[in-house]
Amino acid sequence: MAIIVHKYGGTSMGSVERITNVAKRVAKWARAGYKIVVVPSAMSGETNRLLGLANQINSNPDPRDLDMIASTGEQVSVGLLTLAIKAQGIDAIGYSGWQVPIKTDDAYTKARIESIDSERILDDLNNGKVVVITGFQGVDDKQNITTLGRGGSDTSAVAVAAAVNADECLIYTDVDGVYTTDPRVVDSAKRLDSITFEEMLEMASLGSKVLQIRSVEFAGKYKVKTRVLSSLTDPLMPLEEEMNSGTLITFEEKNNMEKAVISGIAFQRDEAKITLKSVNDTPGIAARILKPIAEHKIDVDMIIQNQSFDNKTDFTFTVPRHDLTKALAVIEEHVKPLVGVVEVTSNSKVSKVSVVGVGMRSHVGLASLMFETLAEENINIQLISTSEIKISVLIDEKYMEVAVRSLHKAFELDKN
């Protein structure tokens, strides 16, 4: 019988009552004959609470200690859920990441999964047990507990699904799928029945919080059939119906004339822009500016170098807003000695808005529709970047919601 991995987020695990509902749902699948592996997150708010405690003791804590602390949230969830599944009359066994083991590198608080030993899991499944495994964590070569970064349970689930060669990975969450944009910003946002893996990757990296981006990368790399669906429905709803609900991440572009050219509008509120004015336009200048930034683990997103004038050019890039102060300090200390004294300006009140769709490959005129729409709203575009399947603009943060709403309408995403 097919192996199915279920992942439940913090909200779904938020109380004893909700955990009981998860157990009922899992028991329903197990009774139907499926081999089930469950990967729960910590109960909602728990990871924040644990990290908060750590911070009260030391505002600059050792990341190894942080992982020791934060990993316990999921361990509690696994214990409680295992008990709850057994209470439904189904045999179950719980494991922490290190017991499986889920091997990671040693980058505390943002470790990457390197391998998963599927032997124990498969044995238990073959013996009729539901296997419950902690999300968000693993163990490095030296037996240190590591965590995978916030939202990492999604990645654990998809990685486990790949390791046991599961037929499907179901990500149960507090929304009922992936939407054309955030329904809190646009009430006419529509749930998508399916989205291609590439679009999902863009949506996740462009700020859609539905899935941790690394989980999408994993799904793509190992071709894990992944579905995002609601955990807040009746746990005893018919299996057939549940199996077809939510949003399926697909690997092929359907040759479907009906499919919209654009799948969604993504946005990132908290961006910041940095400009180095009149730097010398010589080979190596971009590397000299961006290498120290990268070495300080700051993610650079959009990068624009202007046409040069008298061998001088303006060099602009964006970073996450919470990294702006750090980035400016790195420029002072490490970039200026390499590029000479330049004027540096920054703006911490910018947001990025993107339209995403694989249909861009075969359609023209989408960029102009986007720019015209923004122009009609009198929104100034500060930076533009594109890929094969997305166009992003950087704008003043105060126009972000207007931009998202008007683009959603212009691209007819509010129509079925």
Question: Which range touches Mg ion (CB under 5 A), out of 1-9, 42-50, 199-207, 400-408?
Answer: 1-9
The residue (of 35 and 227) whose beta carbon lies closer to ligand ASP is: 227
Binding site for ligand ASP (CB under 6 A): 10, 41-42, 47, 73, 135-136, 150-154
Contact 106/146 with Cβ under 8 angstroms?
A: yes
The residue (of 97 and 151) whose beta carbon lies closer to Mg ion is: 151
Question: Which range touches Mg ion (CB under 5 A), out of 145-153, 192-200, 337-345, 396-404?
Answer: 145-153
CB of 268 to ligand ASP, least distance (A): 18
The residue (of 49 and 361) whose beta carbon lies closer to Mg ion is: 49
CB of 94 to ligand ASP, least distance (A): 16
94-124: buried (b, 16+ CB within 10 Å) or exposed (e) per residue? bbbbbebbbbbeeebbbbebeebebeebbeb
Tally the C-alpha atoms within 13 A of residue 321's C-alpha that lie toward its C-beta. 11
Contact 28/239 with Cβ under 8 angstroms?
A: yes
Which partner, Mg ion, ligand ASP, none, binds residue 150 by CB below 5 to 8 Å per kind?
ligand ASP
The residue (of 77 and 313) whose beta carbon lies closer to Mg ion is: 77
CB of 25 to Mg ion, least distance (A): 18
CB of 101 to Mg ion, least distance (A): 23
Residue type, 291: K
Would you tell me how many other CB atoms lie within 10 Å of the CB of residue 294?
A: 12
Count of residues that interact with Mg ion, criterion CB under 5 A: 2
Distance, in Å, from the CA atom of 35 to the CA atom of 5, rounded to the nearest integer, reads 8
Residue type, 383: L
Binding flags for Mg ion, 103-142, as an x/- string (CB under 5 A) = ----------------------------------------
**73 in contact with Mg ion (CB under 5 A):** no
Which partner, Mg ion, ligand ASP, none, binds residue 42 by CB below 5 to 8 Å per kind?
ligand ASP
Q: Which of 40, 135, 151, 152 binds Mg ion (CB under 5 A)?
A: 151
**Beta strands at 92-95 and 130-133: parallel, antiparallel or unpaired:** parallel
Distance, in Å, from the CA atom of 240 to the CA atom of 229, rounded to the nearest integer, reads 13
Q: Where are the alpha helices (DSSP H) in 34-141?
A: 46-57, 63-70, 72-87, 119-126
Which partner, Mg ion, ligand ASP, none, binds residue 246 by CB below 5 to 8 Å per kind?
none
Question: Which range touches Mg ion (CB under 5 A), out of 149-157, 160-168, 369-377, 379-387?
Answer: 149-157
DSSP 140-201: -TTS-EEE--TTTHHHHHHHHHHHTT-SEEEEEESSSS-BSS-TTT-TT--B-SEEEHHHHH
Would you tell me how many other CB atoms lie within 10 Å of the CB of residue 31?
A: 12
Q: Which residues make up the interface to Mg ion (CB under 5 A)?
A: 9, 151
